[in-house]
Amino acid sequence: MTSRSLFSLTARRKALAVAIVSLAAALPAVAQSAFPSKPVTLIVPFPAGGATDTQFRALGNAASKLLKQPIVVLNQPGAAGTMAPANMARSAAPDGYTISAVASSLYRLPLIQSVSYDVAKDFTYIAGISEYVFGVAVSAESPYKTAQDLVAAAKAKPGQISVGSISNGSSGHVALLRWGKLAGFQANFVPYKGAADVIQALIGGHVDAVSEAGWGSMAQQGKLRPLAIYADKRNPQFPNVPTLKELGWDVTVRSLVGIAGPKGMDPKVVQTLQDAFRKAMDDADFKKTLELSGQLPVYMDSPAYSRFVAAQYEQEKRTIDELKASGVNLTQ
């Protein structure tokens, strides 16, 4: 072999080596752009069968068709819906394959008790999905026909009228405390793991009333009677149910449920997920779950949802500080 041929062969080998190195360097980007390449786990931090569970199962089913990968719903209730997201933030890889539904209790509970997470630093907020409609309801056989009736009974029997809701620090619990402070009554608060458990307790006669969301379908079936809602205006699904505000008690709840992942997620993965969930919200089955529970669709992309969480944290802080200053015990 001539020296020229040897030089040409060496040059080709070097060129081939450079090409291989370049291809290897490009592989992570190719793999990343292919997200998702396996099933996605969506944690629902409340028990199966409740309003949050049913809507996210419908949403996940619709989104999985768009992502072309299954979305597996995993129920992990506890600590007013904060235990599962906190565990996810601490242990899950920020690759988009483990995400969680999050409710407003996530950024309220740190104001009430010590928690293992930082609302601002430990999560990637992917998308806002819907807004709960909170209110007070009684069973269809209850002697209480109006919110005023329930208040009168609670005043006549201090601490004896039992009112159920999700754990301490939940939206329903804090709203009940605010209402009791304004109206001058003290109820016997009974905590549950999820809204489905609360509603079943009411229908079964284990509590006198509930301060919760997710009672819409049971109200439509005539199994319970909503007395008032914690909102600025009446819900179109229940136009005959007044707001507490119009009854003279300025108690409103803004409780959005959305989806978050661990901190440090790739913006491209976040974009893929938020776009899929946005399109999935047009699915007929998903819309039906919201209609049955009286919830409102409120889509927010990642930047908007992040800003909402930050603003609501400050609002919740003002509310909690006011309750503490007035002597209300938020831990019981």
Model confidence pLDDT, tens digit, residues 137-150: 999 999 999 999 99
Share of the chain above pLDDT 90, in %: 75
pLDDT for 241 beyond 90: yes
pLDDT for 218 beyond 70: yes
Q: What is the pLDDT of residues 11-69, one digit of tens each?
A: 555 544 444 444 444 444 444 458 999 999 999 999 998 889 999 999 999 999 999 99
| Amino acid code (one letter) for 102 | V
Cα–Cα–Cα angle for 109, 113, 118, nearest 5°?
A: 60
In the prediction, which pLDDT does 31 show? Answer: 41
Q: Do the domain assignments include residue 45? A: yes
In the prediction, which pLDDT does 14 show? Answer: 53
Total domains in the fold of the chain: 2
Q: Do the domain assignments include residue 53? A: yes
| Amino acid code (one letter) for 249 | W
- Residue after which a domain boundary falls, among 253, 277, 299: 253
115 lies in the same domain as 151: no
In the prediction, which pLDDT does 292 show? Answer: 84
Distance CA 84, CA 92 (A): 11
Question: 0.85 cut: is pTM over it?
Answer: no
In the prediction, which pLDDT does 94 show? Answer: 98
Strand blocks (E) in the chain: 40-44, 71-75, 98-102, 123-131, 135-139, 162-166, 188-192, 209-212, 224-229, 256-262, 296-300
60 lies in the same domain as 109: yes
Helix (H) or strand (E) holding 28: helix 3-33
Share of the chain above pLDDT 70, in %: 90
Q: Which residue has the higher pLDDT, 80 or 274?
A: 274
CATH number at residue 230: 3.40.190.10
Helices (H) and strands (E) in the chain, counts: 11, 11
Distance CA 228, CA 242 (A): 5
Helix, strand, coil percent values for the chain (each to nearest 5): 45, 20, 35
In the prediction, which pLDDT does 236 show? Answer: 86
Per the prediction, the chain carries an average pLDDT of: 89
Q: Which residue has the higher pLDDT, 26 or 120?
A: 120
Q: Do the domain assignments include residue 21? A: no
What is the rounded radius of gyration, in angstroms, for the C-alpha atoms of the chain? Answer: 25
Distance CA 105, CA 110 (A): 9
Q: Do the domain assignments include residue 86? A: yes
- C-alpha distances in Å from residue 196, one per residue of 46, 51, 52, 190, 280: 9, 7, 9, 14, 24
228 lies in the same domain as 294: no
For residues 291-320, average pLDDT: 93
151 lies in the same domain as 103: no
139 lies in the same domain as 229: yes
Query: Domain range spanning residue 177?
Result: 135-253
Lowest-pLDDT choice from 8-17, 80-89, 169-178: 8-17
- Residues in a beta bridge with 189: 163
Q: How many residues does the chain have?
A: 332
For residues 186-191, average pLDDT: 95
In the prediction, which pLDDT does 18 show? Answer: 45
Q: Do the domain assignments include residue 17? A: no
- Residue after which a domain boundary falls, among 253, 274, 306: 253
110 lies in the same domain as 209: no
In the prediction, which pLDDT does 33 show? Answer: 55
238 lies in the same domain as 296: no
Other CB atoms within a 10 A radius of the CB of residue 304 amount to: 14
192 lies in the same domain as 238: yes
**CA 78 distance to own-chain centroid:** 13
Q: Do the domain assignments include residue 16? A: no
Is-contact 85 107, C-beta < 8 A?
no
104 lies in the same domain as 196: no
Cα–Cα–Cα angle for 176, 179, 183, nearest 5°?
A: 140
For residues 285-313, average pLDDT: 93
- Residue after which a domain boundary falls, among 210, 228, 253: 253
DSSP label at residue 242: P
213 lies in the same domain as 189: yes
CATH number at residue 114: 3.40.190.150
Distance CA 324, CA 332 (A): 13
pLDDT for 136 beyond 90: yes
In the prediction, which pLDDT does 9 show? Answer: 45
Count Cα neighbours of 323 within 13 Å in the Cβ-side half-sphere: 24
In the prediction, which pLDDT does 332 show? Answer: 61
